[in-house]
């Protein structure tokens, strides 16, 4: 039998097969060499072992290492020393850690950060950089580029394509970053040469403009304003300039038409202002400027609950809740093990 002329070992767990130090596998009884196939990504040589109704497709280089190389604690990967994945001779193999195995890949030599940088890139980030010819970039740039690519949601090649909007041309990736949206939203919101009216420019001060998508609430409010303008047979501009009111806040006059407009302008909570006027009998000026006050209610999952309602919702004893609050003060929520629920005191 041919394998008797070679340095061989019986394959552990498959005693009807032997593997040689040069990377060949034979059936022990017949001496027939087992055919090797290429599969996987990246490609390696495999053999299909069968015994007692069991079968397993296994990499040849791992069989060689298990048979001929002494085990090394903490090193579970088999590395090809010369980086040739098809050279499965025992002299070309060594046990390695994951980082050592990665560091010996041919593409690592192309990394701008060198072999040490590989430890700071995940496997998926390294594959992304390799696939898109970005290995010459610093690690930070590779990670940032991959992060943006993942959030925007299209191919890297598509991110680099130019796109003209309102007479200005940038790459698709630049538009997505500038507008703070993903690729699907961007492409669903544009027509040739211009953007739909749901996009608008909002001055932030110092002549800096932010372009953003209007919220559903803002679109609903705009629609309501147009209907009212039609009702009074006015243009939208005429209606918007009708019935302007003035309130003094912080010693300054603020013009407004509705409470919604006023609260949006001053960036205060509309519901809180209404509650102060209705329940506390405050004037509009006082309601807008009054400091936050805690009330005996709690905010959980975006809703306001009394102590009883909250305890019923999260399945907790009301007496235990009250006693722990009195005993531990501000830290009682964490001590009760419900800190992960993000329960907050409600303020008015």
pLDDT of 75 over the 80 cut: yes
Average pLDDT over residues 273-288: 82
CA dihedral 81, 82, 84, 85 (to 10 degrees): 0
d(CA 163, CA 183): 12
pLDDT of 181 over the 80 cut: yes
User: Quick one: DSSP state of residue 147?
Assistant: H
pLDDT at 293: 67
pLDDT of 325 over the 60 cut: yes
The tokens 């407004």 sit on which residue?
A: 256
pLDDT of 114 over the 60 cut: no
pLDDT at 41: 67
Alpha helices in 182-331 (DSSP H): 183-188, 216-231, 236-240, 259-266, 270-280, 284-289, 307-314, 318-328
Read off the pLDDT of residues 16-66 as tens digits, 9 standing for 90 and up.
Answer: 898 998 989 998 888 888 888 887 666 888 999 988 888 888 899 999 999
pLDDT of 115 over the 50 cut: no
pLDDT at 102: 64
Confidence band of 212 (pLDDT split at 50, 70, 90) = low
pLDDT at 201: 52
pLDDT of 109 over the 60 cut: no
Average pLDDT over residues 68-94: 86
Tokens matching residue 120: 């700071």
Question: Exposed, middle or buried, 25 (CB in 10 Å: 0-12/13-18/19+)?
Answer: buried
What is the second-level CATH architecture of the domain 2-104? Alpha-Beta Complex (3.90)
User: Among residues of the chain, what percentage have pLDDT more than 70?
Assistant: 82
The tokens 């690729």 sit on which residue?
A: 183
pLDDT of 2 over the 70 cut: yes
pLDDT at 190: 63
pLDDT at 116: 46
Strand 77-80 relative to strand 93-96, pairing: antiparallel
What are the residue ranges of CATH 3.90.75.20 in the chain? 2-104
Name the range with the highest mean pLDDT among 17-31, 123-137, 162-176, 282-296: 17-31
More confident residue, 260 or 3: 260
pLDDT at 194: 40
Average pLDDT, the chain: 78
Question: Of 99-108, 120-129, 221-230, 282-291, which range is least confident?
Answer: 99-108
Alpha helices in 53-114 (DSSP H): 60-68, 98-103
* Closest by CA position to 163, among listed 189, 197, 131, 132: 189
How many other β-carbons are positioned within 10 Å of the β-carbon of residue 105? 18
Long-range contacts of 160-167 (CB under 8 A, 24+ apart): 163/190, 164/193, 165/190, 165/193, 165/194, 165/195, 166/193, 166/194, 166/195, 167/193
Average pLDDT over residues 201-223: 62
Average pLDDT over residues 8-14: 88
What count of residues does the chain have? Answer: 348
Q: Which positions ≥6 away from 281 have C-beta within 8 Å?
A: none
pLDDT at 196: 41
* Closest by CA position to 69, among listed 57, 56, 79: 79
SS3 for 32?
A: coil
pLDDT of 277 over the 70 cut: yes
pTM reported for the whole predicted model? 0.35
Whether 88 contacts 65, CB under 8 Å: no
d(CA 202, CA 211): 6
Confidence band of 119 (pLDDT split at 50, 70, 90) = low
More confident residue, 297 or 14: 14
pLDDT at 20: 92
* Closest by CA position to 99, among listed 122, 67, 71, 72: 122
More confident residue, 188 or 306: 306
More confident residue, 40 or 103: 40
């Amino acid at each position: 039998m041919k394998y008797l002329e070679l340095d061989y070992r019986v394959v552990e767990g498959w005693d009807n097969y032997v593997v040689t130090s040069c990377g060949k596998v034979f059936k022990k009884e017949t001496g027939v060499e087992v055919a090797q196939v290429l599969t996987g990504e990246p490609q390696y040589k495999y053999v299909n072992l069968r015994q007692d109704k069991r079968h397993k497709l296994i990499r040849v280089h791992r069989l060689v290492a298990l048979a001929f190389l002494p085990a090394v604690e903490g090193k579970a990967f088999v590395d090809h020393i010369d980086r040739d994945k098809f050279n499965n001779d025992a002299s070309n193999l060594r046990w390695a850690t994951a980082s050592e195995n990665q560091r010996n890949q041919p593409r690592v030599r192309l990394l701008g950060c060198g072999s040490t940088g590989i430890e700071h890139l995940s496997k998926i980030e390294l594959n992304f950089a390799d696939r898109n010819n970005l290995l010459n970039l610093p690690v930070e740039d590779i990670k940032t580029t991959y992060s943006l690519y993942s959030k925007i949601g299209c191919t890297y090649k598509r991110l680099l394509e130019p796109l003209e909007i309102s007479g200005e041309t940038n790459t698709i990736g630049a538009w997505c970053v500038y507008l703070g949206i993903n690729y699907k939203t961007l492409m669903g919101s544009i027509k040739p040469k211009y953007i739909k009216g749901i996009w608008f420019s909002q001055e932030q001060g110092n002549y800096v403009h932010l372009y953003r998508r209007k919220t559903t609430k803002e679109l609903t409010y705009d629609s309501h304003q147009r209907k009212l303008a039609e009702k009074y047979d006015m243009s939208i501009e005429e209606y918007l300039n009708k019935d302007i009111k003035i309130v003094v806040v912080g010693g300054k006059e603020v013009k407004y038409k509705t409470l919604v407009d006023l609260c949006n302008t001053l960036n205060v909570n509309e519901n809180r202002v209404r509650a102060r006027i209705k329940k506390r009998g405050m004037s509009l000026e006082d309601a807008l400027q009054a400091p936050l006050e805690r009330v005996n209610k709690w905010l959980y999952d975006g809703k306001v609950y009394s102590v009883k309602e909250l305890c019923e919702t999260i399945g907790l004893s009301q007496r235990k809740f009250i006693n722990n609050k009195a005993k531990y003060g501000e830290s009682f929520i964490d001590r009760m093990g419900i800190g992960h629920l993000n329960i907050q005191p409600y303020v008015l």
